[in-house]
């Protein structure tokens, strides 16, 4: 069907392309905007959850014991284990946590204090490498920010983006630790495992891609259907237009169609014009005696005889029940007389007509570019009246 429409020149690729692009834009927006908003919402929920986990981790740390560990001279394995124990229990109860540790800021440099991975009591499925006591932590340049200042101010800081290292992809949160006097004494760090989150995001991504593909396919289909509908609508409009310009019985131009064609022809300003008015003699008597079906058959036969007798550049119209008009550009008196004679000769062949009938023809010619159609029509009508008065079945050329 598509190939046939294109072959006939009815299918317009421009309509298809523009419609499809507009629909694709709308449908992709309908699909993608909720996907982006929901992805942002899921990330916000995740960051809020990790923030709460870090705050809980900080709450289980004894701030006074942690304060003592900040001074290396106060370090002892017993103090380290005693301070670490509640954090190990917290970590063991939270399988989604990868690392839990505490740190201290020394003039902008950070050092590990506690690390749950150092405790044999930790229950986790992850393979962890423990950081040593007071091991220096180097932050990658791409992650640098004012995070230490925010933590020291009492805020829980969550990394704005995921962080990748040799152990995987994490979302990290850091929450301050306070001693019994309310003094800042280091902070807890929680590296949250994103394996499950990333797996879910991949699933959502596949759903989004499938929805996007479905939206684009729908846009193509709807665009094609609308383009086909546009073709059909255009054809219907053309049919209505042609039917409004044509006589329903004969297929010739009607009065409206004739005036439109004549206006375009006069605009070309050719050297001469001719108008021939052809009237069926005694059509009323045929209708009264033979019936209107026979009258219609006679009208159709006369119309066909006129159509085959005129030139390709001439315009033929049915103006009324029994009257036809031929408008002929580039046609002088001799040419018009020749056309009228061909019409009469063809109608003389009674085999072409359902019953014997005759026509009378009035001819008017103006041999100059500025032709006046109204004047031509009046002159041709006067010549037609004279042809009927002189005995019918003849043509008369108007003489001023």
Residue 303 is part of a domain; what is its CATH number? 3.30.70.270
Residue 27 lies in a domain: no
Residue 198 lies in a domain: no
User: Residue 154 belongs to a domain with what CATH number?
Assistant: 3.30.450.20
Domain shared by 276 and 373, yes or no? yes
Domain shared by 261 and 393, yes or no? yes
Of 165, 193, 221, which closes a domain? 193
CA distance 199 to 209: 15
CA distance 357 to 353: 8
CA distance 117 to 165: 17
Give the single-character DSSP code of 132.
P
Instruction: Give the residue ranges of the chain where pLDDT is below 50.
Output: 1-2, 5-9
Residue 39 lies in a domain: no
Of 178, 193, 208, which closes a domain? 193
CA distance 277 to 362: 5
Residue 53 lies in a domain: no
Give the strand pairing for 395-397 and 359-366. Answer: parallel
pLDDT score of 396: 94
Answer whether 148's CB lies under 8 Å from 156's CB: no
Domain shared by 276 and 369, yes or no? yes
What are the tens digits of pLDDT across the range 201-251?
888 889 888 988 998 899 888 888 888 888 888 778 877 777 778 888 998
Of 193, 209, 234, which closes a domain? 193
Domain shared by 290 and 390, yes or no? yes
Residue 144 lies in a domain: yes
pLDDT score of 143: 64
Residue numbers of the domain that contains 312: 255-397
Residue 170 makes CB contacts below 8 A (sequence gap 6+) with 98, 99, 162, 163, 164, 191, 192, 193, 194
Residue 32 lies in a domain: no
pLDDT score of 5: 45
Number of domains in the chain: 2
CA distance 324 to 277: 6
Domain shared by 287 and 184, yes or no? no
Residue 155 lies in a domain: yes
Domain shared by 277 and 178, yes or no? no
What are the tens digits of pLDDT across the range 278-330?
999 989 998 888 999 999 999 999 999 999 999 999 999 999 889 999 999 99
Domain shared by 283 and 382, yes or no? yes
Residue 219 lies in a domain: no
Which tokens belong to 331?
């046609």
HSE of 21, CA atoms in CB hemisphere, 13 A: 6
pLDDT score of 6: 47
This prediction has a pTM of 0.56
């Amino acid at each position: 069907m598509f190939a046939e429409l294109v072959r006939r020149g009815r299918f317009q690729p421009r309509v298809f392309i523009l419609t499809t692009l507009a629909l694709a834009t709308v449908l992709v927006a309908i699909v993608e905007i909720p996907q982006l908003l929901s992805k942002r919402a899921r990330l916000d929920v995740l960051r809020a959850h990790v923030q709460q986990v870090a705050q809980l981790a900080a709450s289980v740390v004894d701030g006074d014991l942690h304060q003592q560990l900040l001074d290396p001279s106060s370090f002892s394995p017993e103090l380290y284990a005693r301070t670490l124990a509640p954090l190990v229990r917290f970590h063991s109860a939270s399988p989604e946590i990868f690392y839990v540790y505490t740190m201290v800021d020394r003039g902008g440099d950070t050092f590990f204090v506690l690390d749950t991975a150092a405790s044999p009591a930790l229950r986790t499925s992850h393979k962890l490498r423990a950081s040593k006591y007071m091991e220096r932590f180097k932050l990658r340049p791409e992650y640098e920010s004012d995070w230490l200042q925010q933590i020291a101010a009492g805020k829980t800081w969550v990394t704005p983006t995921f962080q990748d290292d040799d152990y995987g992809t994490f979302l990290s949160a850091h929450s301050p630790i306070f001693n019994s006097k309310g003094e800042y004494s280091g902070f807890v760090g929680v590296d949250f495992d994103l394996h499950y989150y990333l797996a879910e995001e991949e699933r959502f991504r596949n759903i989004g891609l499938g929805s996007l593909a479905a939206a684009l396919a729908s846009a193509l289909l709807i665009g094609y259907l609308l383009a086909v509908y546009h073709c059909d609508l255009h054809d219907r409009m053309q049919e209505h237009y042609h039917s409004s310009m044509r006589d329903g019985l004969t297929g010739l131009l009607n009065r409206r169609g004739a005036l439109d064609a004549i206006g375009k022809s006069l605009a070309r300003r050719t050297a001469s014009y001719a108008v021939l008015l052809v009237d069926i003699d005694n059509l009323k008597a045929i209708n009264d005696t033979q019936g209107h079906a026979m009258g219609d058959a006679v009208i159709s036969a006369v119309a066909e005889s006129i159509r085959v007798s005129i030139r390709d550049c001439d315009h033929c119209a049915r103006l009324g029940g029994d009257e036809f008009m031929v408008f002929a550009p580039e046609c002088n008196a001799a040419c018009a007389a020749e056309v009228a004679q061909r019409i009469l000769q063809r109608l003389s062949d009674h085999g072409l007509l359902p019953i014997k009938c005759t026509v009378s023809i009035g001819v008017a010619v103006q041999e100059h570019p500025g032709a006046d159609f109204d004047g031509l029509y009046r002159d041709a009508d006067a010549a037609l009246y004279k042809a009927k008065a002189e005995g019918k079945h003849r043509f008369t050329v108007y003489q001023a």
